């Protein structure tokens, strides 16, 4: 490796709680940190608002990285196949590529907010010049600490946490059925836009839906049932963790949600 190669420190914010807490945690530790946000153009309004809030708190610009081509362009390229857990072209094209382009060939230390108790590496760049750094793991920072960091800073949690457990695109296929319903309640326009992406052809039986074999219209029809099941499962979980501060209850509930998240680090942390 060339001796005169640029060395950079970059922290990628997703709009989620872990990367936000990491930004606060690192603010006075690495003075020349670059903060970036890979904007798919399909994020929730709450995410954009939270990024602005973090920027104000840090007192440093957060560089918005936009992909060369939009989601709609790539959807056409992929023949109308909506992204899915097994074909996650969205993360590569809209998040990872812009990040890698921004890093160029510099030696980049990429700061990632995986917590001490988490056993995962995540969906990260494998370019040899981009080296992941895990400060929370190194310092034993757990979910409880992350919530304390956010509370003590005054930044708090992103607003969408009131109804959804992850940042990322409004139509993200990783969201649970109840989160689709809550998307409809909180952002009916975005729910309709997500629905408009689905293609259900009766002639050849091909379906392009966000949830396998279940169009969003069916989610709407089953709304009462989905909400009831969710409320029942919440009651059961809260019953198991009585007399704890709200942050911990939230943490315990969120923990369970990790089961459906196959480590979309750049999207969710």
**What is the rounded end-to-end Cα distance, in angstroms, of the chain?**
31
Kindly state the smallest distance separating residue 266's Cβ from ligand SF4, in Å: 7
SS3 148: helix
Does residue 170 touch ligand SF4 according to CB under 6 A?
A: no
Q: What are phi and psi of 129, to 5 degrees?
A: -85, -5
Residue 190 contacts residue 170 (beta carbons within 8 Å): yes
Does residue 165 touch ligand SF4 according to CB under 6 A?
A: no
By C-alpha distance, which of 14, 245, 244, 237 is closest to 114?
Answer: 14
Considering only residues 51, 90, 141, 147, which one is a binding residue for ligand SF4 as defined by CB under 6 A?
Answer: 90
Residue 13 parent element (H or E): strand 7-13
Considering only residues 34, 168, 216, 265, which one is a binding residue for ligand SF4 as defined by CB under 6 A?
Answer: 168
Considering only residues 11, 96, 108, 172, which one is a binding residue for ligand SF4 as defined by CB under 6 A?
Answer: 172
Query: Residue 88 or 164: which CB sits closer to ligand SF4?
Result: 88
Does residue 47 touch ligand SF4 according to CB under 6 A?
A: no
Does residue 83 touch ligand SF4 according to CB under 6 A?
A: yes
- The half-sphere exposure of 252 on its side-chain side, counting CA atoms within 13 A, is 16
Residue 12 parent element (H or E): strand 7-13
Q: Which stretch binds ligand SF4 (CB under 6 A): 83-91, 110-118, 198-206, 223-231?
A: 83-91
Does residue 174 touch ligand SF4 according to CB under 6 A?
A: yes
Query: Residue 20 or 264: which CB sits closer to ligand SF4?
Result: 264
By C-alpha distance, which of 44, 42, 62, 40 is closest to 52?
Answer: 62
Q: Which stretch binds ligand SF4 (CB under 6 A): 103-111, 164-172, 215-223, 227-235?
A: 164-172
Does residue 169 touch ligand SF4 according to CB under 6 A?
A: yes
Does residue 216 touch ligand SF4 according to CB under 6 A?
A: no
Does residue 115 touch ligand SF4 according to CB under 6 A?
A: no
Does residue 16 touch ligand SF4 according to CB under 6 A?
A: no
Considering only residues 12, 19, 40, 47, which one is a binding residue for ligand SF4 as defined by CB under 6 A?
Answer: 40
Which of 107-146 are b and which e, b meaning 16 or more Cβ less than 10 Å from the residue's Cβ?
ebebbbbbbeebeeebbbbeeebbebbbbbeeeebebebb
Residue 250 contacts residue 147 (beta carbons within 8 Å): yes
Q: What are phi and psi of 179, to 5 degrees?
A: -70, -30
Query: Residue 86 or 246: which CB sits closer to ligand SF4?
Result: 86
Does residue 164 touch ligand SF4 according to CB under 6 A?
A: no
Kindly state the smallest distance separating residue 90's Cβ from ligand SF4, in Å: 3
Q: How many Å apart are CA 117 and CA 126, to the nearest integer?
A: 23
Q: How many Å apart are CA 214 and CA 81, to the nearest integer?
A: 15
Does residue 99 touch ligand SF4 according to CB under 6 A?
A: no
- The contact set with ligand SF4 (CB under 6 A) reads 40, 83, 88, 90-91, 94-95, 168-169, 172, 174, 264, 267
């Amino acid at each position: 490796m060339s001796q005169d190669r640029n060395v950079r420190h970059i922290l990628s914010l997703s709009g989620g709680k872990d990367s936000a807490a990491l930004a606060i945690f690192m603010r006075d530790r690495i003075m020349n940190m670059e903060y970036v946000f890979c904007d798919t153009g399909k994020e929730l309004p709450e995410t954009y608002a939270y990024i602005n809030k973090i920027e104000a708190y840090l007192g440093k610009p957060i560089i918005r990285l936009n992909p060369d081509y939009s989601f709609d362009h790539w959807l056409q390229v992929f023949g109308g196949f909506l992204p899915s857990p097994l074909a996650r072209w969205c993360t590569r094209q809209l998040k990872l590529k812009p990040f890698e382009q921004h890093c160029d060939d510099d030696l980049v230390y990429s700061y990632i907010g995986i917590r001490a108790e988490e056993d995962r590496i995540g969906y990260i760049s494998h370019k040899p010049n981009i080296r992941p750094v895990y400060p929370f793991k190194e310092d034993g920072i757990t979910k409880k600490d992350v919530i304390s960091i956010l509370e003590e800073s005054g930044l708090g949690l992103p607003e969408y946490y009131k109804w959804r457990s992850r940042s990322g695109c409004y139509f993200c296929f990783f969201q649970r059925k109840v989160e689709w319903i809550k998307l409809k309640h909180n952002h009916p326009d975005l729910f309709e836009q997500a629905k408009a992406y689905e293609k259900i052809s009766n002639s050849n039986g091909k379906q392009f839906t966000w949830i396998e074999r279940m169009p969003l219209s069916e989610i709407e029809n089953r709304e009462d049932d989905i909400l009831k099941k969710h409320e029942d499962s919440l009651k059961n979980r809260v019953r198991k963790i009585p007399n704890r501060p709200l942050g911990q209850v939230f943490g315990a509930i969120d923990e369970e949600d990790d089961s459906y998240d196959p480590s979309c680090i750049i999207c969710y942390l």
